[in-house]
Amino acid sequence: MKRSVMRLCSIFLTGLLLSSCATVRTLDAAKPGAPIVYSGTRLDWYSLNGGCCPLDRFGARAPRHAALDLPASVLLDTLLLPFALAAVLGVGLGVSGGL
């Protein structure tokens, strides 16, 4: 019982942290001309350097604590790099969800 409560709490906290992650925010931004490769890292860096309009440039709002989000965004952007490069190059991966 105690392990299931701990697992549930860790899943909840992970979801809470990822909801403010810049990479997750830019995944569905659908802004024409917005950067795709390392987009979350770029959004954090833009915000840290006093960028004026992240919504216009990236199609997503910058996280409130960009300095804390930066390491997580670098990690997630690195994991998603093959998919981002495929999108930039126009390669269709044929990935679909569900059964």
For residues 68, 70, 74, 79, the Cα torsion angle rounded to the nearest 10 degrees is: 50
* pLDDT confidence of residue 11: 75
Q: Comparing C-alpha atoms, which of 11, 15, 24 is closest to residue 80?
A: 24
Q: Which domain holds residue 66?
A: 32-89
In a domain, 75, yes or no: yes
In a domain, 12, yes or no: no
In a domain, 67, yes or no: yes
In a domain, 58, yes or no: yes
- Report the domain count for the chain: 1
Q: Which residues contact 57 (CB under 8 A, 6 or more apart)?
A: 31, 34, 46, 51
pLDDT one-digit tens code per residue, 8-46 = 767 766 665 555 688 888 887 777 888 889 999 999 999
